[in-house]
Copies of this chain bind each other. A is one copy, B any other.
Amino acid sequence: MNAVTPLKHDFKVADLSLADWGRKEIDIAEHEMPGLMSIRRKYAKEAPLKGVRVTGSLHMTIQTAVLIETLKDVGADVRWASCNIFSTQDHAAAAIAATGTPVFAWKGETLEEYWDCTLDALSFPDGKGGFRGPQLVVDDGGDVTLLIHKGYELEKGDESWVNSASGSHEEQVIKNLLKRVAKERPGFWTTVVKDWKGVSEETTTGVHRLYQLAEAGKLLVPAINVNDSVTKSKFDNLYGCRESLADGLKRAMDVMLAGKVAVVCGYGDVGKGSAHSLRAYGARVVVTEIDPICALQAAMEGFEVKTVEDTLGTADIYVTTTGNKDIITLEHMKAMKDQAIVCNIGHFDNEIQVDALYNSGAVKTNIKPQVDKFTFDNGNSIFLLAEGRLVNLGCATGHPSFVMSNSFANQTLAQIDLWAKKDSYEAKVYILPKHLDEEVARLHLEKIGVKLTRLTKDQADYLGVPVEGPYKPEHYRY
Q: Which residues of A contact B (CB under 8 A)?
A: 21, 24-25, 28, 31-32, 62, 208, 211-212, 228, 230-231, 233-235, 239, 242-243, 246-247, 250-251, 253-261, 269, 277, 279-285, 288-308, 310, 314, 323-326, 338-339, 365, 367-368, 373, 396-397, 399-403, 406, 431, 437-439, 441-442, 444-445, 448-456, 458-459, 462-464, 469, 471-475, 477-478
Task: Assess whether A463 is in contact with B231, with CB atoms less than 8 Å apart.
Answer: no
A448 CA to B303 CA, complexed, in Å = 11
Residue numbers in B under 8 Å from A406 (CB-CB) = 296
**The 6 nearest A-B residue pairs measured at CB:** A280-B280, A256-B400, A256-B402, A292-B441, A292-B442, A259-B448
Assess A471 versus B291: contact at CB under 8 Å? Given A212-B464, A254-B401.
yes
Task: Assess whether B230 is in contact with A463, with CB atoms less than 8 Å apart.
Answer: no
Task: Assess whether B471 is in contact with A431, with CB atoms less than 8 Å apart.
Answer: no
Residue numbers in B under 8 Å from A305 (CB-CB) = 445, 450-452
> Which of B239, B250, B282 is A258 in contact with, Cβ under 8 Å?
B239
Task: Assess whether A297 is in contact with B234, with CB atoms less than 8 Å apart.
Answer: yes
> Which of B281, B303, B453 is A290 in contact with, Cβ under 8 Å?
B453
Assess A32 versus B246: contact at CB under 8 Å? Given A293-B478, A453-B289.
no
Task: Assess whether B282 is in contact with A239, with CB atoms less than 8 Å apart.
Answer: yes
Residue numbers in B under 8 Å from A471 (CB-CB) = 290-291
Residue with the highest number of chain B CB atoms closer than 10 Å, among A250, A308, A456, A472: A250
A279 CA to B281 CA, complexed, in Å = 11
Residue numbers in B under 8 Å from A31 (CB-CB) = 338-339
A32 CA to B21 CA, complexed, in Å = 36
Task: Assess whether A261 is in contact with B449, with CB atoms less than 8 Å apart.
Answer: yes
Residue numbers in B under 8 Å from A431 (CB-CB) = 475
> Which of B242, B250, B261, B438 is A291 in contact with, Cβ under 8 Å?
B438
Task: Assess whether A279 is in contact with B302, with CB atoms less than 8 Å apart.
Answer: yes
> Which of B292, B438, B449 is A293 in contact with, Cβ under 8 Å?
B438
Residue numbers in B under 8 Å from A253 (CB-CB) = 28
The residue on B at minimum CB distance from A287 is B450
Assess A445 versus B235: contact at CB under 8 Å? Given A365-B24, A453-B290, A473-B211.
no
Task: Assess whether B403 is in contact with A256, with CB atoms less than 8 Å apart.
Answer: yes
| Given A31-B339, A250-B250, A250-B396; 4 other pairs, CB 8 A cutoff | A28-B339, A228-B477, A282-B301, A295-B445
Task: Assess whether B290 is in contact with A437, with CB atoms less than 8 Å apart.
Answer: no
List 8 contacting pairs A-B, 8 Å CB cutoff, sorted by A: A208-B463, A234-B477, A256-B402, A258-B402, A284-B303, A293-B478, A295-B445, A307-B451
Assess A302 versus B282: contact at CB under 8 Å? Given A250-B247, A400-B254.
yes
Closest CB in chain B relative to A25 CB, distance in Å: 7
Task: Assess whether A438 is in contact with B254, with CB atoms less than 8 Å apart.
Answer: no
Task: Assess whether A367 is in contact with B25, with CB atoms less than 8 Å apart.
Answer: yes
Residue numbers in B under 8 Å from A251 (CB-CB) = 247, 251
The residue on B at minimum CB distance from A459 is B324
Task: Assess whether B464 is in contact with A397, with CB atoms less than 8 Å apart.
Answer: no
Residue numbers in B under 8 Å from A326 (CB-CB) = 456, 458-459
A306 CA to B261 CA, complexed, in Å = 14
